[in-house]
Amino acid sequence: MNVRSIDHESPRPFPPGLAVRHPRASDHAALQGALTDWWGGQGGEAGAQQRRLLVPRLFLQHFAGTSLLVEEPVAAGAEGGAGEGAELRAFLIGFLSQTDAETAYIHFVGVHPEAQRGGLGSALYYRFFDLARGHGRSRVRSITSPVNRNSIAYHSRMGFRVEPGDRGEDGVAVHTDYDGPGLDRVSFVREL
């Protein structure tokens, strides 16, 4: 797929009936719940704890302007989620690099399992691309674990390319110990 051709596609619309907004610190509990529940028990309680640690409250306090939440309104009296009278359906935690004035970074993205494959993730990515462009950024970076084959395939479909690593694993370039001993990562970049 030609990355340049993606740049000229219109942004993906959000499915009807959903509200998109920037997160608030008060959304932290809902996000922590999603990080526990949406991954189908992947990694057990240790895996859930690792995911929760990746999205501390500080992202909602200091990077809210470049992060996004998608909510679905719920009927009065129904169990709510993120906002008053709304259930969290997806989120993207992203920020502008403080070190590289041309780069924005997608840190963590989640889509409720019932909402996957409906274009919600793509709509979040394209909204973030627009935010990054609006701040004069010309590229977006992200990482994932080498075992997360779905994430690797998704980023490739979204026009990201895998950056060279120090070794290969199942045909994918990997950065050994990227986030510490035993925490290997696949690094992506997408030009805007």
Could you list the residue range(s) of the whole structural domain that residue 159 is in?
Answer: 140-192
The H or E element containing residue 28 is helix 28-37
pLDDT tens-digit readout, 115-132: 999 899 999 999 999 999
In a domain, 22, yes or no: yes
Higher pLDDT: 2 or 161? It is 161
Say yes or no: 56 and 85 in one domain: yes
10 Å CB burial of residue 157 (0-12, 13-18, 19+) is exposed
User: Quick one: 159 and 81 in the same domain?
Assistant: no
Task: Specify whether 43 is located in the same domain as 119.
Answer: yes
Q: How confident is the model at residue 4 (pLDDT cuts 50, 70, 90)?
A: very low
pLDDT at 179: 94
Q: What is the mean pLDDT of the chain?
A: 90
Same domain for 30 and 125, yes or no, is yes
Choose among 129, 112, 127, 118: nearest CA to 16. 118
Q: pLDDT-based confidence at 1, cuts 50/70/90?
A: very low
Note whether 64 and 127 are same-domain residues: yes
Q: Count how many Cα atoms sit within 13 Å of the Cα of residue 43 in the half-sphere of its side chain.
A: 15
- Could you say which DSSP state residue 12 is in? P
Q: Which of 114, 137, 160 is the last residue of a domain?
A: 137
Span 26-40, average pLDDT: 95
Total domain count, the chain? 2
